[in-house]
């Protein structure tokens, strides 16, 4: 499974030879201070998932529904799919930032497995309680981020080589700590982060989770209000696209899809804590990307690192912080995954970085850097989880699953590279 990733590296190297003009960076000269980055709206945030991404998801889901004789779109399977896809989607939240900055992380899956092994050893062998174990896990995530940020950001070593080396280190560390055996079970207070659900508050005997239903109604209402406000603002600024009727149809459709997805969980066991963690991280990093200078710096570096440096951006510091945040989020994903499966194993996290990277690309993140979106990364990763789940329902062997996943990754990268070269040309 390594060859597709080196194909990505080759694509990036070729793209750097055709680097975009520095004009992508908005800059102005300040007397006595040289060039500085303009604190305005960033133009590198990419696009939110549009009709194409949702159409792809619908086509794949309907296809699997047909070939699995109706098993795929059952509420139980979709609920399981959401739980299975949550871990990789959490990784994808910050993997998007890594890719946007024209870097990479091939070690995320093995790092998740190593962190989980350490957490299980601390709790099972050393008797640490859950708060101390989680604290240790998060600190380990910071250390991993510092390790990568130092070599990639400050020493300018290729991200693919550094993180591939780390992948081997973490796999060896997992075997060293766990001695090749499973470590578990985890305590109930720890496992709740992976397999726990919001409790019913009032309607204890109802066939649905009342608090989850209330949250669903609030989410859909907020989505409709925000969509309407954005439409009015874009019309006022003269940037609105399409007719009001088309906008209304799209908004109602997306609201219906959002409600159905939430209802699947509402009428099963309710919102899981894992999904809530994913939602919080998604909203947090969507805010960081859109409204903070750090978010603008990440996209500026991805657009043209040299021009960003001339604009006064500390490329090294920004890359360091990208990997620190990514390390912490990977540690959070490890907590969720370990809580879900209940024990640490030597194979935990295998190919998770593949699913996260492919999900980011499918969701609109450019493998060449400079473009990406948090929501797109999550949707794309869930799409990949759906593909994995569907192939499992069809009882496809590991051989064909690897072949299909590799083809999907290569196709997504090829389309992205061709599209961006066409725009540059």
Q: Return the pLDDT at 239.
A: 86
How large is the average pLDDT for residues 185-214? Answer: 93
How large is the average pLDDT for residues 226-253? Answer: 90
How large is the average pLDDT for residues 131-139? Answer: 97
Are 144 and 84 spatial neighbours (Cβ–Cβ below 8 Å)?
Answer: no
How large is the average pLDDT for residues 194-221? Answer: 92
How large is the average pLDDT for residues 136-150? Answer: 98
Which of 151, 135, 168, 174 lies closest to 323, judged by CA?
151
Between 18-22, 218-222, 229-233, the lowest mean confidence (pLDDT) is in 18-22
Please give the domain boundaries of the chain with CATH numbers for all domains. 3-191+273-424 (1.10.3470), 197-271 (no CATH)
- DSSP codes, 57-99: HHHHHHHHHHHTTT-TTSHHHHHHHHHHHHHHHHHHHHHHHHH
Q: Return the pLDDT at 22.
A: 40
Q: How far apart are CA 420 and CA 298, in angstroms?
A: 19
Which of 412, 323, 343 lies closest to 376, judged by CA?
412
Between 6-20, 172-186, 233-247, 345-359, the lowest mean confidence (pLDDT) is in 6-20
- Dig out the tokens for 182 from the structure: 């499973």
**180 has a pLDDT exceeding 60:** yes
| pLDDT tens, position by position, 309-333 | 999 999 999 999 999 999 999 999 9
- Higher-confidence position of 157 and 1: 157
**12 has a pLDDT exceeding 60:** no
- Higher-confidence position of 56 and 241: 241
Which of 103, 207, 121 lies closest to 164, judged by CA?
103
pTM of the full structure: 0.86
Q: Return the pLDDT at 6.
A: 46
């Amino acid at each position: 499974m390594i060859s597709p990733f080196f194909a990505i590296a080759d694509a990036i190297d070729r793209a750097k030879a055709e680097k975009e003009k520095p004009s992508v960076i908005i800059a102005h000269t300040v007397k006595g201070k040289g060039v500085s980055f303009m604190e305005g709206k960033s133009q590198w945030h990419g696009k939110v998932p549009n009709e194409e991404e949702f159409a792809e998801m619908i086509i794949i889901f309907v296809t699997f529904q047909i070939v699995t004789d109706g098993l795929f779109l059952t509420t139980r399977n979709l609920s399981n799919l959401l739980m299975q896809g949550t871990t990789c989607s959490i990784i994808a939240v910050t993997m998007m930032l890594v890719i946007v900055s024209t870097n990479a992380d091939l070690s995320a899956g093995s790092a998740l497995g190593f962190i989980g092994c350490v957490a299980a050893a601390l709790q099972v062998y050393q008797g640490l309680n859950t708060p101390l174990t989680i604290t240790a896990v998060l600190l380990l995530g910071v250390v991993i981020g510092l390790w990568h940020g130092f070599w990639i950001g400050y020493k300018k070593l290729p991200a693919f080589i550094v993180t591939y080396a780390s992948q081997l280190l973490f796999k060896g560390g997992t075997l060293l700590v766990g001695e090749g055996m499973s470590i578990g079970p985890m305590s109930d207070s720890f496992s709740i982060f992976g397999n726990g659900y919001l409790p019913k508050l009032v309607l204890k005997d109802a066939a649905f989770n009342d608090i989850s239903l209330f949250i669903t109604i609030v989410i859909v209402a907020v989505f409709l209000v925000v969509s309407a406000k954005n439409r009015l603002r874009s019309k006022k600024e003269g940037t609105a696209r399409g007719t009001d009727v088309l906008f209304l149809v799209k908004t109602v459709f997306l609201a219906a899809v959002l409600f159905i997805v939430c209802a699947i969980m509402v009428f099963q066991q309710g919102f899981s804590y894992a999904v809530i963690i994913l939602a919080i991280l998604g909203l947090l990093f969507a805010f960081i990307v859109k409204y903070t200078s750090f978010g603008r710096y990440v996209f500026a570096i991805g657009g043209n690192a040299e021009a960003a440096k001339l604009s006064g951006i500390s490329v090294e510091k920004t890359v360091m912080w990208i990997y620190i945040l990514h390390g912490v989020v990977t540690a959070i994903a490890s907590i969720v995954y370990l809580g879900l499966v209940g024990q640490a194993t030597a194979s935990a996290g295998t190919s998770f970085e593949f699913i996260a990277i492919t999900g980011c690309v499918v969701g609109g993140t450019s493998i060449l850097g400079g473009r990406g979106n948090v929501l797109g990364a999550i949707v794309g990763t869930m799409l990949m989880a759906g593909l994995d789940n569907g192939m499992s329902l069809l009882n496809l062997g590991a051989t064909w699953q690897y072949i299909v996943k590799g083809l999907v990754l290569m196709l997504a990268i090829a389309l992205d590279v061709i599209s961006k070269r066409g725009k540059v040309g």
